[in-house]
Structure 1
Amino acid sequence: MKTITTQIPALDKVVRICDFLSDKNGATFSQIYQGVGIAKSSTSSLLNGMVAHGLLRQDNDKYYLGLRLYEFGNKAVEQYDIKKIALPVLTALRDKTNLTCHLGVLQGSSPIYLTKLESPQAIIIRSWEGKRLSLYSSGLGKALMAHLSDDEVDALLPEDKVLTRITDTTITDIKVLKAELAEIRVRGWAYDNEEDSQGVRCIAVPVLNPQGKAIAAISTSGVAFQIPDDKREYLASLVMEAGQQLAQQLK
């Protein structure tokens, strides 16, 4: 996630520690202060305070995100009205497609799932509410990014940024990715062709406000045989219809 600096350095450090631990299965004191770049003395004081407040938990020599953050996250999602408004739209989309459906937003430099509705079929897509996604290889990430300004895209994906290859079909060339974003703006939907997870495909559309900015995105996901090439356009039309319905309700 992009580092943000405010006029409250202690708060910035707390958030940096949380960001660092968010994709780690625990970390030691040394790993945290070296990874986050905070002085030893400050790191020690911050970790002790965060443990006391339940923001972190300590197990032997390792620190983990605390359950209080989980509680805050649940409350944040509850208070995010778009989730409640989107639920009937997503439910209808799930019932029409028989596929897993998601609602997501861009948080900082990462898309994040706000809602997941499981497919009624036996195949389970490994995702969850609160999961952060790749910006450039996920359908939802590309749908959100396609309606950013050129400057905003450049800030998220500068020319020297390395796009890690996740699967055989992951786009790793920023120029190719930007060309695809232009196509997404024209056709109205994004496609993840097994780029983020081998064998899993996704169709996503942005939810646009009256100014044409993407305030959220919805997607439908399934394994490759559930979203075959000859059915992709039809499924995309259903997702686009759902995205337009949600946009109308949010006006």
Structure 2
Amino acid sequence: MGRLVPAVTRALDILELFLDGDGTLSAPDIVRRLQLPRTTVHELVTTLAARGYIAPVPGRSGRYRLGVRPYQLGSRYAEQLDLAAEGQQVARAVAETCDETVHVAILEDTDVIYIAKVDSTHAVRMVSAAGRRLPAHCTSVGKMLLASLPERELAARIPDGAELAAMTPHSITDPAALREALAGIRRRQIAVESRESNPDVSCVAAPVRDRTGQVVAALSVSVPMIRWNDGRRAELEQLAVKGAAELSERLGHRSAE
């Protein structure tokens, strides 16, 4: 690995400061926060402004905000993103941690479509495939995605009189019961499904967001009932949340924390 260039590192440090607070900074702010010489900061700020990476804030003398150049670079990056490819990489990392089957899925009407999947190495594991379609209300990823819909859109997709197909005796088939379950999922931002799509499997799922904050997918961890208990569920919930957050970050989402 080559040597890091100090001037470039300092310029990037300055740009990353704009991620916090109200998104505006003055040269003295930068000097104080990075503990750099005033002359160095002045030269870096002048260069970044000349190249369009930062720009003066109208009506606020001496303060800067991000310029158009970072937006252009971010837009180009977003254009190159492939949810399935990014999801496969994150799913692989999550599966390596827990050695259970991990999926990433998207919502299409009232079904989910699995766009990424990594298998467990256990002899007893969930059998599925990327590209498979299942009723959303029977899966943890599907319930997570349904819970993320605006109420009006959810009602249009699953009206009160809808007939919900059962995949197992544990599947939710009543729209009112589904809405009650979705309300809980919306509060917790985690979905749990126990033997609703497969009588021998339980799953947990967390939401994946894009750079606008919209939920565009869900990541789940699936576990055979022989390895399912309250302690394991809690562990996998945390892992699903962490994996979904990582995938969200890859898609350009910034946590509010």
- TM-score, normalising length from structure 2? 0.64
Deviations 1:133-190 (A, max 9, x none): 1111111110111100111111111111112333222112211211111111221111
Q: Distance in 1 between matches of 2:93 and 2:83?
A: 16
> Cα offset for 1:238?
0.6
Q: Distance in 2 between matches of 1:216 and 1:190?
A: 13
**Structure with max Cα Rg:** 2
Judge conservation of contact 2:201–2:224 (CA < 8 Å) in 1: yes
4+ long deviations beyond 6 Å: none
Q: Distance in 2 between matches of 1:80 and 1:163?
A: 34
> Cα offset for 1:124?
3.4
Judge conservation of contact 2:115–2:131 (CA < 8 Å) in 1: yes
CA root-mean-square deviation? 1.7
Q: Distance in 2 between matches of 1:197 and 1:156?
A: 23
- TM-score, normalising length from structure 1? 0.65
**Alignment-derived partner of residue 124 in structure 1:** 125
Pair 1:113-2:114 in alignment:
yes
For 2:199, the aligned partner's letter is Q
Gaps of 5+ in 1: 1-78
For 1:143, the aligned partner's letter is M
* Number of equivalent positions: 173
Q: Distance in 2 between matches of 1:86 and 1:166?
A: 26
**Alignment-derived partner of residue 174 in structure 2:** 173
Q: Taking every aligned residue pair, what percent have the same amino acid on both sides? A: 31
Q: Distance in 2 between matches of 1:140 and 1:199?
A: 17
Judge conservation of contact 2:209–2:251 (CA < 8 Å) in 1: no
Tell which deviates more after alignment, 168-177 or 131-140.
168-177
Judge conservation of contact 2:140–2:191 (CA < 8 Å) in 1: yes
**Alignment-derived partner of residue 162 in structure 1:** 163
> Cα offset for 1:212?
3.8
Q: Distance in 2 between matches of 1:231 and 1:85?
A: 26
Judge conservation of contact 1:148–1:213 (CA < 8 Å) in 2: no
**Matching of residues 153-232 of structure 1 within 5 Å:** 153-232=154-233
Q: Distance in 2 between matches of 1:229 and 1:174?
A: 27
**Alignment-derived partner of residue 235 in structure 1:** 236
> Cα offset for 1:210?
4.6
> Cα offset for 1:80?
7.4
